Amino acid sequence: MLKVTEATVRFGGLTALDSVSLSVDAGEVLGVIGPNGAGKTTLFNVICGFVRPNSGTIEMDGRRLARIRPHQLAGLGVARTLQGVGLWPGLTVLENVMVGLRHQARAGLVSALLGLPRSDRSEVDLRASALEAMERLGITDVAGRPATSLPYGIQKRVSLARALAGSPRLLLLDEPASGLSSAEMTEMGEIITGLAQDMAVMLVEHHMDLVMSVCHRITVLDFGRVIAAGSPAEVRDNPSVTAAYLGNAVDAPGASA
């Protein structure tokens, strides 16, 4: 579904991505791991059009996304959660999720201004689908609360619900388990495994237990280069991966970060 071919990104003298290639298909969870500053978030930024690669291509369903702009992604069926939570503090949980559904909204500016029935119906539908997405993640009971007033673990779920609301085909998760308790992390793992039934998932994560248990394949980045790729077992046994992580304990680093 998504194919990245030899993507290179330079920020001044720093090469954040160095000829990175990878691909992910529906029904699959691709893990992207690597030490801090390895280029994982930058890879997502390239896919989303926030950063233009100096060279290399991004293809979606065989079509090249040459000048993709971030706001066009939702329409292509790509959703992403941000490192941290990236929720809108001034919106309730329900509203946060409803914005995630906005490309399904049909009412135009005029019917919104005049409060026409068309606008109301569209809102009612959006609300119903949003509640459905929230139901799946068990957050309907906080629907009316300001999003950032909630415990961090719940906020993480809200941001996942927002991304899922639009029924994406490709989901990019940037550290969905950071800051979670180990019980919450186990739940997050189950959620991700469930999601991969009907979409492609790319998972950036520092928690090795989680990565090893939910990913079908893993790509390891270090200083912007792919230093290993393969099944969780292959990657785990790869000595260069261990070397890259030296200084960051391989198991469960970043439990605090």
Partner 1 sequence: MLSAGFLRRPLVRHLVIAVVLVVVLFLVTGILSSYNNFQIALIASYVIAVAGLSLLTGLNGQISLGHGAFMAVGAYTTALLETHQHWPLALVLALSAVTAAAAGLVTGLGAARLRGPYLAGATLALAVGLPELTIKFTSTLGGESGLPVNPPPPVSFLGASFDPNRYLAWVSILCVAVTLVLLANLVTSRFGRDFRAVRDDEIAASLSGIRVAGNQVLAFVVSAACAGLGGAIYALATGIVNPAGFTLVLSIAILTGTVIGGLGTLAGAVWGGILLVYLPRWSESLSNGFKLNKVVSSNLSLGLYGVVLIVVILAFPAGLQGGVRQAGRALRSRFMSGPGSSGSTGAAAPAGVSTPVASGGGGETS
Ligand X SMILES: Nc1ncnc2c1ncn2[C@@H]1O[C@H](COP(=O)(O)OP(=O)(O)OP(=O)(O)O)[C@@H](O)[C@H]1O
Question: Given the rule CB under 6 A, which residues bind ligand X?
Answer: 11, 14, 16, 34, 36-42, 83
Structure-token pair, residue 203: 């998972």
Q: Which candidate, 223, 212, 217, places its Cα nearest to that of 245?
A: 223
Shortest reach from residue 113's CB to partner 1, in Å? 5
Q: Which of 14, 71, 167, 246 binds partner 1 (CB under 8 A)?
A: 71
Give me the DSSP letters along 121-179. Answer: HHHHHHHHHHHHHHHHTT-GGGTTSBGGGS-HHHHHHHHHHHHHHT--SEEEEESTTTT
Please give the size of the binding site for partner 1, defined by CB under 8 A.
51
- Report in angstroms how near the CB of residue 55 gets to partner 1 at its nearest: 24
Alpha carbon separation from 213 to 159, 183, 189, 194, 217 (Å, rounded): 22, 15, 8, 13, 11
Q: How far apart are CA 45 and CA 54, in angstroms?
A: 13
Residue 39 or 100: the one with the smaller Cβ distance to ligand X is: 39
| Cα dihedral 196/200/202/208 (nearest 10) | 30
Q: Which of residues 201-230 bind partner 1 (CB under 8 A)?
A: none
180-186: long-range contacts at Cβ-Cβ below 8 A with a sequence spacing of 24 or more? 180/152, 180/153, 180/156, 181/153, 184/153, 184/156, 185/209, 185/210
Per-position x/- string for 76-95, each x denoting binding to partner 1 as judged by CB under 8 A, each - no binding: ---xx-x---xxxxxxx-xx
Does residue 45 touch Mg ion according to CB under 5 A? no
- State which residue, 14 or 110, has the beta carbon closest to ligand X: 14
Cβ 166 to ligand X shortest distance, Å: 24
**Residue with Cβ nearer partner 1 (4 or 142):** 142
Q: Least CB distance from residue 71 to partner 1, whole Å? A: 5
Interface residue list for partner 1 (CB under 8 A): 48, 50, 69-75, 79-80, 82, 86-92, 94-95, 98-100, 102-103, 105, 107, 109, 112-117, 119-120, 122-123, 126-127, 131, 140-141, 143-146, 149, 162, 166
